[in-house]
Structure 1
Amino acid sequence: MDVRQLEYFLAIVDHGGFNRAASALYLSQPSLSQAVRALERDLGSSLFHRIGRRAVLTEAGTALIEPARAAVRSLATARASVAAVHELREGSLDIAAMPSQAVEPLTTMIRAFSGRYPGVTVNIRAAFTARDVIDMVRTGATELGLLATSEPLTDKEVIAHAAGEQRFVLVTPPDGPFAAGRPVACEELAGQRLIVGQRGTGMRAYVDGLRERGIGFTIAAETEHRVAILPLVLAGVGLAVVTESWRTTAERAGALVVEIEPRTTLRIALVSRRTGRSPAARTFVTCGLSALGDT
């Protein structure tokens, strides 16, 4: 038994006979009769009494009307739901993002996407390292991922779409040791107290690189919670090297943001699986990257 047979059955009921139903369905009457006989065999019961050209429902046929209508309505709803997802009228999209990139450029990308497809919910999943992001996309935990890395991506199971670069900047309290408007040479961080992220992040790799170059500093705090960095800076615990995605938020909070020389950047990439991407994922890649090109 399939839904098509139920649709044929209901057409006979609604149109009062096989001939009228066949005309409405643009079927030949023998084809319609054959489909109904197949349905009756599947159910093990006759659905109609054939009286001349008339079709009178049997008790079994009468009992089938309500569940048949429910089944047909359910199929119509399912088809409409699938169509809505493909047309991006509704649905959801899961994206893994590292904390700094979840500030920017993800905000710009989601704003552009949601402006065009407001019915699609974007679910942002936390990932603390580039490896975390790649693994979440590769294993299907999310469809897309946004990451920052100082090295070219070599994972063959994902596609990397370039999404710009972000330079490192220094965030200090407003009364910190450096003047506003003047870039700070990285050597000037010697002797400072720094707030750092966990290993595997770009910001941690940067400060570890300073130490390898002989620039000595004290780690005042190490945190996995990126949102804790700015409050710690403003509280005078130490200074922080972060990506410039934090600039607007930090300045609005009253912190001072200064550039570090020489300029050092991270590559930002939007990654996706090579196959099996949903319409929402494909559209987000196009729409999001286009939005970044417009900024």
Structure 2
Amino acid sequence: MDVRQLQYFLAIVDRGGFNRAASALYVSQPSLSQAVRALERDLGSELFHRIGRRAVLTEAGRALIEPAREAVRSLETARASVAAVHELREGRLDVASMPSQAVEPLTSLVSAFSRRYPGVSVAINAAFTSRDVIDMVRTGAVELGLLASAGPLSDREVVSHALGRQRFVLVVPADGPFAGRRAVECRELAGQRLIVGQSGTGMRAYVDALREQGIEFAVAVETEHRVSLMPLVLAGVGLAVVTDSWRDLAGRLGARVLDIEPENTLDIALVARRGILSPAAAAFVTAATSAADS
């Protein structure tokens, strides 16, 4: 028994006879009849009563329909899986990310993905706000986007996959204020010189909210270039309020990272355009959501 015989059997069932099935399959009727007879010999039972030009299912034939369909579907799934793996031997995946999320979790996600699919090139596109990310995904400029938002996203424009949360922290130079501390109350930022992001970012929204609460501070630098954050902090220009995606990098560079109390967080999400994704994008989403669930 082979799957081709099962496909022929199902074609006869679905088309209502040998002639129509042979035409649909682009095979001759004798070849089709021969394949069905071979299947019947393998099973030890007749599948059809041949009544003139009609083919009427026997009881054994009716019993075979569902297992045959399941076997054919399984083979199609297996072929699709193999094809996807083959396609992922090479290719390109375009991802947009906000700067802080490009530090983490994007670094870990791309690292794991690249180890599994080394032939796929990942292109990371800069997006400064969550709106930028959504627009790039929605318009097809990229397939996937990584962003932070103050709350869960609507799925009206893109499909969103939650990856967790990141809290706000304060990055200070080694010889800066709050020595020996692991945490700082948000009200203690009063009077400090802060390095902040541009409007539209979660970082900026957070410090603006502090000011609305009556916590007065000086803006030392407003920057769109997050790569400048750590050099500016280490140079003593100011303190940076960032998400804890920066924690490990800041520590390796010699800065200190303090939790800001009370805890305030951003939701991190991977967003995808609607419809069928490329094999690379689908694999990336699966890996990212699996990691978030583990």
In the alignment, is the contact (CA less than 8 A) between 2:191 and 2:217 conserved in 1? yes
Letter in 1 for 2:95: I
In the alignment, is the contact (CA less than 8 A) between 1:144 and 1:281 conserved in 2? yes
* Counterpart Cα distance in 2 of 1:172 and 1:218: 15
Give the secondary structure class of the aligned counterpart of 1:187: helix
* Counterpart Cα distance in 2 of 1:244 and 1:182: 13
Cross-structure match for 1:47 = none
Cross-structure match for 1:273 = 273
Give the secondary structure class of the aligned counterpart of 1:247: helix
Letter in 2 for 1:274: R
Matches within 5 A, 1:123-272: 123-272=123-272
| Deviation (angstroms), 1:86 | 5.6
* Structure 1 residue 92 corresponds to structure 2 residue 92: yes
In the alignment, is the contact (CA less than 8 A) between 1:110 and 1:288 conserved in 2? no
| Deviation (angstroms), 1:154 | 2.3
* Counterpart Cα distance in 2 of 1:104 and 1:258: 18
Cross-structure match for 1:115 = 115
Structure 2 gap ranges (5+): 1-26, 29-82
| Deviation (angstroms), 1:155 | 4.9
* Counterpart Cα distance in 2 of 1:157 and 1:292: 22
Matches within 5 A, 1:28-39: none
TM-score of the superposed pair, with normalisation by structure 1: 0.70
* Counterpart Cα distance in 2 of 1:111 and 1:180: 34
Q: Which deviations, in whole Å up to 9, do the C-alpha atoms of 1:166-190 show, x marking residues without a partner?
A: 0000000111110234310000000
In the alignment, is the contact (CA less than 8 A) between 2:182 and 2:257 conserved in 1? no
Letter in 1 for 2:87: E
Give the secondary structure class of the aligned counterpart of 1:115: helix
| Deviation (angstroms), 1:116 | 1.2
Identical residues among aligned pairs (%): 71
* Counterpart Cα distance in 2 of 1:173 and 1:252: 12
* Counterpart Cα distance in 1 of 2:132 and 2:100: 14
* Counterpart Cα distance in 2 of 1:209 and 1:231: 26
| Deviation (angstroms), 1:84 | 7.2
| Deviation (angstroms), 1:139 | 0.1
| Deviation (angstroms), 1:203 | 0.5
Structure 1 gap ranges (5+): 1-26, 29-82
Letter in 1 for 2:145: G
Q: Which deviations, in whole Å up to 9, do the C-alpha atoms of 1:227-272 show, x marking residues without a partner?
A: 1011111111110100001011111111111110000000000000
| Deviation (angstroms), 1:85 | 7.5
- Root-mean-square deviation (CA, aligned residues, Å) is 1.9
In the alignment, is the contact (CA less than 8 A) between 2:167 and 2:265 conserved in 1? yes
TM-score of the superposed pair, with normalisation by structure 2: 0.70
Give the secondary structure class of the aligned counterpart of 1:157: coil
Aligned pair count? Answer: 216
In the alignment, is the contact (CA less than 8 A) between 1:145 and 1:272 conserved in 2? yes
In the alignment, is the contact (CA less than 8 A) between 2:163 and 2:292 conserved in 1? yes
In the alignment, is the contact (CA less than 8 A) between 2:84 and 2:279 conserved in 1? no
Letter in 1 for 2:168: F
* Counterpart Cα distance in 1 of 2:183 and 2:265: 15
Give the secondary structure class of the aligned counterpart of 1:140: coil
